[in-house]
Amino acid sequence: MNGTSAGLQTKHSLAGDWALVVSEAGAYALPADIPASARTIAAPVPGTVAQALERSGKFDRANPASLNDCDYWYLAAIEGERPGPGRLQFDGLATIAEVYLNGERVLESVSQFISHDIPIALTGSDQLAICFRALNPHLAVQGPRARWRPQMITPPGMRLVRATLLGHMPGWCPDVEAIGPFRAIHLVRHSEVEIDDLRIQTAIDTDGNGILDVSFGFSGRAGDLKVSCAGHTVPVTISADGRLRAHLEVPDVKPWWPHTHGEPAIFPAALVIDNVSHVLARIGFRNISLDQGPDGKGFAIEINSVPIFCRGAVWTNADIVRLPGGGEDYRPWLERARDAGMNMVRIGGTMTYETSEFFAICDELGLMVWQDFMFANFDYPASNADWVELVEREASDLLKSIQGSPSLTVLCGGSEIYQQAAMLGMPKKFWTGPLTEEILPAIYDSYRPDVIYIPNSPFGGAMPFSPNQSVTHYYGVGAYCRPLDDARRANVRFAAESLAFAHVPEQVTLDTHLPVPAVHHPRWKARVPRDRSASWDFEDIRDHYLTELYGFEPARLRREDPARYLDFSRATTVEVAEATYGEWRRPGSQTAGALVWTLQDLLPGAGWGVIDSTGLPKPVWHGLRRAFKPVQVLLSDEGTSGLDVHVINESQHPVPLLLTVRCLRDGATQVVAGSIEIELAPRGTISIPATELFGAFFDTNYAFRFGPAAHDVTVATLKDLETGAEIASAFHYPKGRPAAMHEANITASLDRRDGDWVIALSTDRLAQSVNIAVPGWLPDDNWFHLAPGQEKMVRIASFSATAGNKPEGVIRYLGVATAISI
């Protein structure tokens, strides 16, 4: 909020279509050099060059041409403004930019990540021009010698340029380079009162009172000044250093919680000037702490003294071409994250900073934010004073813009800097440095000491990426093709990244946006992510687990029955995700959180995202939604100790539950069963050996192998004791999933209930990975296992304008070619 008044400015957005001139690098030194005959295209502001060219049919995000060898001139007239002083505010210019007003250069910017607020004098007939200079000459500059060079980022010169790495990671994302005024531009005129360098701190004291501390610089007409929040008001005082301060207490305040654990309560904090209220920020009251456990090696985040199992995904971008920063772009993605039961999103160091609107929506939805500073993999020149000054401005600008935001939970010095050095054999003294150990912590301590700071991700352990200490990027289950039980063996403490797979989208997305003649077609493979120097891609990783889970030879299955291959591929990542999170969430696990890589795809195809680029959840999203439920039942194979049943209640209320466990032969015949009523306390867990429910020994997990297994699936069901509604279920296959595949007789009916379309499903025997395919409609559960003996209700909601008045589609289940029409 640097240079922002308390609502008394006349502030005009300069958004709209500007004229864009593309030229050879250095062709025009000044706006006056641009000939009147120069061809222009309309360019949206805020926006990017790629966006303008794409809109004009001159750019293809699926086959992007490099943009870094040209200059780009944005031109606009400032109309309807009276002569006199004003200020131009630029929230983000990517990246080497010169700003001209009436032909005079008023600003040079060399960082995408800093904002600018510059005084100007308007004449009443004013021309504004912004030139984005070709980046290639800057990328060729040789800086201080690097001690290591990462393979994943090109070119190496990105180390010295403060710009997003999106577009510079071959195999990771489309090569769409960020150029242009991608954040808002405003003209500021009159301001009677201005506040500067706003600092907001919130907390909850031991008596449950909310504490709000506000301080700021002040200029202009001083009247009666107060700060108000949640119905309480205190006067503003002037401290010895000339800053204005207010300390306000809110008795018995409603705390802010991640939505999985309570209500994310938000309050406006306002500066009251002469009885007129001006909102400074929307805040929440919460305390954040870090529990490292008795061995000092853990990383467990606590909100309001309650341990939170953090689950969610790494944010990529709302649109790789536009790089939008508005709430209308953020909200659909973040609501999908919330609806999946995620309670944390991470903005990684290879991405770009998002706007205050991103955090405002996370505040509202109860999503914690792990924010990396935008540094990744490189050996950065932290001894260069000019570079350090840019970094300090960048970090300060970010934290000033999100003062009081309760969703900000972790600040991290960057991504994989320590890991990169360690994996290249560098000794520990080279991993760390002043950037992450001194420069960034000083900014953090000044602006947001209420959150957790760590110097890098991953961090801790014998190696910075060791999973058994602090924070890791865990790909044991995943890229390293370890068995599923490695999720326990590795003793993961906290995974800021995990489970990267080439997740296959629903068929409707492929049919509409990627209708390739064969799954292995070059167009298909171009959308599959890969590490630049690796001989494999993330489809190969998925295929490995397809074989592990179902026993197929993927290449043969893909060749002989591509549709069946895609369905088994979809089911594979669903099963891996549910099994892995089940291990991490069980009572007794030392894992305190794990985030999936990544939330969304940037192009249609089998990308890392759990939501495809059209916004439609992929099958794995539904699996995560089940795995992330706050009230949950899990099954874990404990070897000769048998099969354990775990029940979790993360809510702040006691929950009366009925737990039932059944062992079925041929997916239908009940061999043994048991049930128990549980009153599970708030934040409570319970673990019960399955045999306790049965009342006698039964080889539930087929550990003793006294003859053939008596059953092929164990089903645990958790129901609300008062309503009978199913809350969660879990499945265990003592002989593996293929042995529990059966020809099932599924019945389905479609009806309207409480204004929604509902599909009622039942089956005579187990049906694995039931898929409801209804174009234009989104089921509230999908790719689930359906057990006999109970009816499952699936609500479906309209997803697109093509949904029609009544849902029509088919229901399939894994391993069976026939489909049921609805």
pLDDT value at position 21? Answer: 98
DSSP 3-state of 539: helix
The residue count of the chain comes to 822
Buried b (16+ CB within 10 A) or exposed e, 657-678: bbbbbbbbeebbeebbbbeeeb
Measured torsion, CA atoms of residues 795, 800, 806, 811, in degrees rounded to the nearest 10: -60
pLDDT at 300 over 90: yes
Write down the pTM of the prediction: 0.97
Query: Are residues 762 and 790 in contact, defined by beta-carbon separation less than 8 angstroms?
Result: yes
* Distant-in-sequence, close-in-space partners of 539: CB < 8 Å, separation ≥ 6: 502, 525, 528, 606
DSSP secondary structure string for all residues of 367-378: -EEEEE-S-BSS
**Angle, vertex CA 692, rays to CA 579 and CA 261, nearest 5:** 50
How confident is the model over 234-272, as pLDDT tens digits? 999 998 888 999 999 999 999 999 999 999 999 999 999
pLDDT value at position 818? Answer: 67
**Sign (positive/negative) of CA torsion 544, 549, 553, 555?**
negative
As given in the structure block, the two tokens for residue 110 are 């060399």
**Sign (positive/negative) of CA torsion 198, 201, 202, 205?**
negative
pLDDT value at position 822? Answer: 79
> How many whole angstroms separate alpha carbon 143 and alpha carbon 240?
44
Buried b (16+ CB within 10 A) or exposed e, 371-409: bbbbbbbbbbbbeeeebbebbebbbbbbbbbbbbbbbbb
pLDDT value at position 194? Answer: 83
> How many whole angstroms separate alpha carbon 272 and alpha carbon 302?
34
Average pLDDT on 412-425 reads 96
Residue type, 641: S
Residue type, 508: V
How many Cα neighbours within 13 Å face the side chain of 359? 25
Domains of the chain, each with CATH number or no CATH: 9-188 (2.60.120.260), 192-283 (2.60.40.10), 288-627 (3.20.20.80), 741-822 (2.60.40.10)
Pairing of strands 193-204, 210-220: antiparallel
pLDDT value at position 2? Answer: 38
> How many whole angstroms separate alpha carbon 641 and alpha carbon 703?
8
Give φ, ψ of 585 to 5 degrees: -90, -10
Residue type, 60: D
pLDDT at 445 over 70: yes
Query: Are residues 422 and 430 in contact, defined by beta-carbon separation less than 8 angstroms?
Result: no
Q: How confident is the model at residue 222 (pLDDT cuts 50, 70, 90)?
A: low
- Dihedral-angle region of residue 690 (phi above 0 means left; psi in -120 to 50 means alpha; beta otherwise): alpha
pLDDT value at position 355? Answer: 98
> How many whole angstroms separate alpha carbon 12 and alpha carbon 188?
6
How confident is the model over 761-808, as pLDDT tens digits? 999 999 999 999 999 999 999 999 999 998 999 999 998 766 678 888
Q: How confident is the model at residue 3 (pLDDT cuts 50, 70, 90)?
A: very low
Mean of all residue pLDDT scores within the chain: 95
Beta bridge partners of 24: 70
Q: How confident is the model at residue 9 (pLDDT cuts 50, 70, 90)?
A: low
